[in-house]
Structure 1
Amino acid sequence: MADVSPKFHRPDLLPAAGYAEAELSVSHDGIEFWQFMVAGSIAGVIEHTSMFPVDTLKTRMQAQSTPCHSVPAGLRHAFTSILRLEGPLGLYRGIGAMSLGAGPAHAVYFSVYEKAKEYLSRGNPNNPAAHAASGVVATVASDAVLTPMDTVKQRLQLRSSPYKGVADCAARVFREEGLRAFYASYRTTVVMNAPFTAVHFATYEASKRALMEVSPDNASDERLVVHATAGAAAGALAALVTTPLDVVKTQLQCQGVFSVMGL
């Protein structure tokens, strides 16, 4: 096997004194805490806005499995129905709520994850248990920030939503259902996202490490490809595990809408 650069050696193979000195000389992963927050916030907004049409289709399909809708919509039917009745902009209804919530929530998510990973890894960055536990801690914190705006977003995404916009929806939910309505799905969201992030980050870190070890000499040149590939694999596996609870979350968040619509 070809010789590998020292930066790819496992930490436990490095001299203890030298490794401790290196840990003190640079911040975790080479950037500061506030940079994790900014990077996470930007990543979250880009992620949610770019995938928002898909999220709208998912919400419609999940909500239409309630007793209020006798015929659950399939993907093709939901897509064509939105385009025919609401136009392309119908796919983006509620995006303002997501934009308001995604930035702060992801800033919390990534910064808490990185700090928890730094603390729990105890000098061994190749620790899947630490990655999984860090993901759980991060999602509990970020869900507390995102859930209220996610509830508004979900309600605006529904077919024939009775709300005029983000402000109208938030005001009416608060007035008619109280503050608790914004957090009706919080426990379900945490129960869903805790295993999601545990699976996601453990798979992501393992995939990233495996991909970098395939070609360590070119790892720095292929860093974006490595992150994207590892992230796609991790996200797909995590979504497969947690989709049933995501359906429950959607229906909890939208349960007050049907009474408003007279259904």
Structure 2
Amino acid sequence: MADAVLAGGKGVERVSHDGLKFWQFMVAGSIAGCTEHVAMFPVDTLKTRLQVPAAGSAISIQQALRSIVKLEGPLGLYRGVVPMILGAGPAHAVYFSVYELCKSLLGGNLSGHHPFVHALSGVAATVASDAVFTPMDVVKQRLQVESSPYRGLADCIRRIMREEGLKGFYASYKTTILMNAPFTAVHFATYEAVKRVLMEISPGSASEERLLFHLTAGAAAGALAGVVTTPLDVVKTRLQCQGVGGCDRFTSSSIGNVIRLIVQKEGYTGLTRGWRPRMLFHAPAAAICWSTYEAAKTSFQEFNQNSKSLP
């Protein structure tokens, strides 16, 4: 597992993250997830508006931004932030703790490079965390849509439950898993690989715990994974927002059916809608998330060491 470099009175001491408790991984993940999503939420709102276009709506990032600020004010960029926070905290707690557990069980903490283990651990993490996050993600997306008919969080939850039942909250779960599994596999494998390369480039002057390492590796991983999985993200967003604010409603939640209808109506470019704001979201979001997560882990490691040294 990652080593922390702590500055002390007698130089630099390398401290292993091994020994962190499961709940500490959960808390670190929860802090990282909430920090990431709150910081990047306006970009996420722009992505949703571009992926679920209403009649005559904006077709560029600049137009979408101007439209939201003009018609809804700056706070319009944060419409749906409450359900996001309610879902992101526990979901990221599950996400990172399951990743760390699987990585440890599969030997990913041993010396050497283990891209398959990192990818597989990431897939296991996303399957578990998406079960927690998807309902709140559905609510968030519907509140973000232009001309959303919902008055707020409680009204949206109540109407989905009354009109669609519990399955309405999980209409996109299969698509979310199929999107996030490759996303997470690419994300974690790229993150660990880039971090390893950076360590090899300057082994004498930098440690893998340096903030710049995590920011760079996280940004590269988020950007690549975000762009590669944009078509599936478009499908997921359309399924979550169908019938809302004039959005198309689908007779089947089959991914193939949704893709076919999008291509028929908008061409193949319809499947790439929002790729720029998606990349602009995931690059800095992953950088923020990973650096926050690693900093939280280091803090817990210091706390555990100080606790052991107390009489």
Alignment TM-score, normalising by the size of structure 1: 0.84
What is the aligned counterpart of 2:139 among 122, 135, 152? 152
SS of residue matched to 2:106: helix
Identity %: 67
Q: Is 1:229 equivalent to 2:221 in the alignment? A: no
Aligned to 2:238: 251
For residues 94 and 246 of structure 1, the distance between their equivalents in structure 2, rounded to whole angstroms, comes to 18
Q: Which residue of 1 aligns with 2:84?
A: 98
Aligned to 2:50: 61
Q: Distance in 2 between matches of 1:46 and 1:259?
A: 32
Contact residue 162 and residue 260 of structure 1 kept, 8 A: no
Judged with a 3 Å threshold, the aligned counterparts in structure 2 of structure 1 residues 179 and 125 are, in CA distance, closer, same or farther, namely farther
Cα deviation for residue 232 of structure 1 reads 0.3
1:183 and 2:179 equivalent? no
Distance 1:197 1:241 in 2: 11
Matches within 5 A, 1:185-224: 185-220=172-207, 223-224=210-211
Q: Which structure is higher in RCO with an 8 Å CA cutoff and minimum separation 6? A: 2
> 1:133-155: CA deviations, max 9, x gaps?
00000000000000000000000
**Which residue is equivalent to 1:121?**
107
> Are 1:38 and 2:24 an aligned pair?
no
> Does the aligned pair in 2 maintain the 1:62–1:247 contact within 8 Å?
yes
Q: Deviations over 1:131-177 (max 9, x none)?
A: 00000000000000000000000000011111111111011100111
Distance 1:54 1:260, change over 3 A: closer
Query: 3-state DSSP class of the match of 1:159?
Result: coil
Larger displacement relative to structure 2 (73-82 or 106-115): 73-82
The list of structure 1 runs, each at least 4 consecutive aligned residues, that deviate by more than 3 angstroms after superposition, is 122-125, 258-262
For structure 2, which runs of at least 5 residues remain unmatched after alignment?
Answer: 4-15, 250-311
Conserved 8 A contact 1:52-1:95: yes
Aligned pair partner of 1:171 in 153, 158, 162: 158
Q: Which residue of 2 aligns with 1:138?
A: 125
Distance 1:148 1:255 in 2: 15
Does structure 2 retain, via aligned residues, the 8 Å contact 1:189–1:246? Answer: yes
Count of residue pairs the alignment pairs up: 235
The amino acid across from 2:60 in the alignment is G
Query: Could you say which structure has the higher helix fraction?
Result: 1
Instruction: Give the RMSD, CA atoms, in angstroms.
Output: 2.3
Mapped to 1, the partners of 2:111 and 2:174 lie a distance apart of 32
Structure 1 residue 218, shift from structure 2 partner: 2.7
Q: Please report how far the alpha carbon of residue 76 of structure 1 lies from its aligned counterpart in structure 2 after TM superposition.
A: 1.2
1:241 is matched by which residue type in structure 2? V
